[in-house]
Amino acid sequence: MVKRLWIVTVLITLVVLSACSGGGNKTANESSNNASRGISDQTINIGLLVDLTGPYQAAGTQMEVGVKTYFDYINKNGGINGRQLKLSTEDNGANPATTATAINKLVFNDEIFALAGVQGSAAFAGAYDFIDENKVPTFSLGFSSVNHIPHRPMIFSSAVPYSLQGSRVINYIAKELDISKPQIGVLYQDDDFGIDFLNGAKEEAKALGVEIIAEEAFPRGAEDISSQVTNLQRKGVEQVFVAGIYTTAGQFMKEANKIGYDPLVIGTGPSRGDPFFDIAGNTGEGYLLVDYFAPLDDPALDEINGIVSEFAPGETLNNNMMFGLVNAITLVEILKAVGDDITTEKFITQAERMSNIDMKGLMSNLSFSPERHYGLTETRVFESNIPDKSWTQVSDPKAPETTDINQIGK
C-alpha cells in the first residue's frame, strides 16, 4: 500500500513538473521560447492581413502579390541566413471583427514571428493591444498617426505618415511654388484619416506663417461634394488641398469644372490611382499630388521590375504592389541584420538601429530610431497626365518643415 502510494505521488509530481515546464497547450506568451515564436532552423513564419474580398480587395490583392513576390525572390537566393520565409495570408476584409479572428489564427495556429502588413486603419487599430500583448513585430499598411501615438513598440511603418503628407502639401504651395500670400482651403474626409492630413497641413501652415482660410469636411464615401466645392469657391480659396482618396479627388475636379472654378488642386498618395482618371475624365488635367513612391517609369526600378517579371509572371508593377514590396524589403533587411539568433527583442532593437535601408528605387531609403518607428518623411510631387492616365514627377523627394508627428496638434 505504501509502495503504491509512493508511485502515485511520483506520477503526480511528474505531471505537475511537466505542466510547469511547458507541456500542454500554450498561448503565444507561453510557448517554449516565446521570443522565437515562428522561428525554426529551416523557416521564418511571417503573416499578412489584407482585404481579399471586401471593399479594398483590389489593393489588398496586389499588396499580397508584392510581399509574396519579394519573399519568393529572397528564398530562391538563399533565404534569411539559410532560413526560408514562409508567408501565411489571411483575408481580413479591412474589418475589425474579421481582423481579430484572423490575427488569432496567424499567431496561435500558424505561429507567425511577425506581420508583414495589416490593411485597413480601423481594422489595424482594433489589433493594437493584441499585437503588443503577444509581441508581434508588425509593419503597417496604413499611415495614420495613431499607429505611432502613443509610441507602440511593436509597430513600424515603411512610409510617410498621412499628417506629414499633409504638411508637404502646404510646403509645396508656400515654398516651392513661392506663392507669397496663398489662399489655401482644405477639403477633408471627416474621420481619423482625413483629420490626420488636415492636422499636418495646419502644423506646416503655422511653421511657415501662412493661413488656411477655409476647411470643408465631407463624410467618408460621399457621392456628392458639390456644396463643399461651392463653399471653397465662395470663400476665395485659390489653392485646394483635397485630403481624401482618388474618388474625392476626381469628384472635386468634375464639380469645380462644372461651376467654372479653377483653383490649383493638390492631393496626397491615396488619390494616386487609375480610378481618378476614370472619374475626373478630361477635367483631371493639372491635378497634383504628393506621394513617396517613385514614378513607375523610373529606371531605378529596373531591378524590381525584373523580380516582378520572374516571380509574379503576368503582373505589372503598380502602386498597390509597391506597398507590399516595401514592407517585405524592410522586414527582410532587418532579419538579415539580426543574424542567426532571431528573437523578438533582438528584432526590435535591430530595427530601431536601421539606417538608410536600400529600397531598390521604390522610394527614398528608410531609417528608424527608438523614438521614431516611421521610416520616411520625404515625398515627391506628381502631376496628372490625362491622355495616357499616368503621373509625372514634378518635384524631387523633400521633407516638410514638420517632421515629428508628435508635435502636430500641440
Is 38 exposed, middle or buried, given 0-12, 13-18 or 19+ CB atoms closer than 10 A?
Answer: buried
Close Cβ partners of 155 (under 8 Å, ≥ 6 residues apart): 128, 131, 138, 139, 140, 147, 148, 373
Domain-wise residue ranges, the chain: 34-159+297-351, 162-291+379-407
**Adjacent-strand bridge partners of 379:** 398
d(CA 44, CA 106): 13
Q: Do 357 and 325 touch, CB atoms closer than 8 A?
A: no
Q: What is the pLDDT of residues 380-399, one digit of tens each?
A: 999 999 999 999 999 999 99
β pairing state of 43-50 and 84-91: parallel
Cis bond before residue 182 (omega within 30° of 0)? no
Contact 140, 157 (CB under 8 A): yes
Q: Is the dihedral of CA 374, 376, 382, 384 positive or negative?
A: negative
Confidence of residue 4 (pLDDT cuts 50, 70, 90): very low
With a cut of 90, say whether residue 46 has pLDDT above it.
yes
Phi-psi region of 67 (alpha: psi -120 to 50; beta: other; left: phi over 0): alpha
Of 40 and 23, which is predicted with more confidence? 40
**Which conformational region is residue 236 in: left (phi greater than 0), alpha (psi within -120 to 50 degrees), or beta?**
left
pLDDT at 17 over 80: no
* pLDDT tens column, 300-344: 999 999 999 999 999 999 988 999 999 999 999 999 999 999 999
Q: Which residue has the cell 474626409?
A: 189
3-state helix, strand and coil shares in percent for the chain, rounded to the nearest 5:
45, 20, 35
**Any idea which residue has 506663417 for its cell?**
209
Please tell me the least confidently modeled range out of 120-124, 149-153, 214-218, 369-373.
Answer: 120-124
Please report the sign of the dihedral spanned by the C-alpha atoms of residue 188, residue 189, residue 192, residue 197. negative
Mind listing the pLDDT tens digit for each residue in 129-138? 999 999 999 9
148-to-48, 63, 91, 144, 359 alpha-carbon distances in Å: 20, 22, 24, 8, 22
Q: Please report, rounded to a whole number, the percentage of residues in the chain having pLDDT higher than 70.
A: 91
pLDDT at 2 over 70: no
pLDDT of residue 143: 80
> Which three three-digit cell numbers place residue 77?
537566393
Q: Provide the terminal-to-terminal Cα distance of the chain, rounded to the nearest Å.
A: 77
Please name the residue that has the C-alpha cell 489564427: 105
Please check whether residue 364 is in contact with residue 376, taking contact to mean a CB–CB distance below 8 angstroms. Answer: yes
CB 163 within 8 A of CB 408: yes
Residue 354: predicted pLDDT: 98
Amino acid identity, position 235:
K
Query: 28: pLDDT confidence band, cut at 50, 70 and 90?
Result: very low
Model confidence at 92: pLDDT above 60: yes
Task: Please tell me which residue, 191 or 73, carries the higher pLDDT value.
Answer: 73
Distance of alpha carbon 90 from alpha carbon 136, whole angstroms: 16
Rounded percentage of the chain residues whose pLDDT exceeds 90:
78
Predicted local distance difference test score (pLDDT) of residue 9: 38
Question: pLDDT tier at 410 (50, 70, 90 boundaries)?
Answer: low
- Can you give the pLDDT at residue 21? 37
pLDDT tens figures, 48-72: 999 999 888 888 999 999 999 999 9
Q: Check residue 1 and give its pLDDT.
A: 43
**Kindly report the CA angle at 118 between 114 and 121, in degrees rounded to 5?**
145
Secondary element (H or E) of residue 397: strand 390-398
User: Using CA of residue 324, residue 326, residue 328, residue 330, what is the dihedral sign?
Assistant: negative
Q: Among 50-54, 142-146, 191-195, whose mean pLDDT is lowest?
A: 142-146
**What would the pLDDT profile of 250-279 be if each residue is shown by its tens digit?**
999 999 999 999 999 999 988 987 889 999
pLDDT digits (tens, 9 = 90+) for 274-295: 889 999 999 999 999 999 999 9
Would the CATH topology of 34-159+297-351 be identical to that of 162-291+379-407? yes
| CA separation for the pair 381, 268 (Å, rounded) | 9
* C-alpha atoms less than 13 angstroms from C-alpha of 265 in its C-beta half-sphere: 30
Least confident window among 13-22, 47-56, 151-160: 13-22
120 sits in the region (left: phi over 0; alpha: psi -120 to 50; else beta) called left
Mean pLDDT for the chain overall: 90
CATH of 162-291+379-407, one of 3.20.20.20, 3.40.50.2300, 3.40.1390.10, 3.65.10.10: 3.40.50.2300
Give me the pLDDT at residue 15, please.
Answer: 34
How confident is the model over 239-245, as a mean pLDDT? 96
Cβ-contact 321, 315 below 8 angstroms? yes
Which fold does the domain 34-159+297-351 belong to in CATH?
Answer: Rossmann fold (3.40.50)
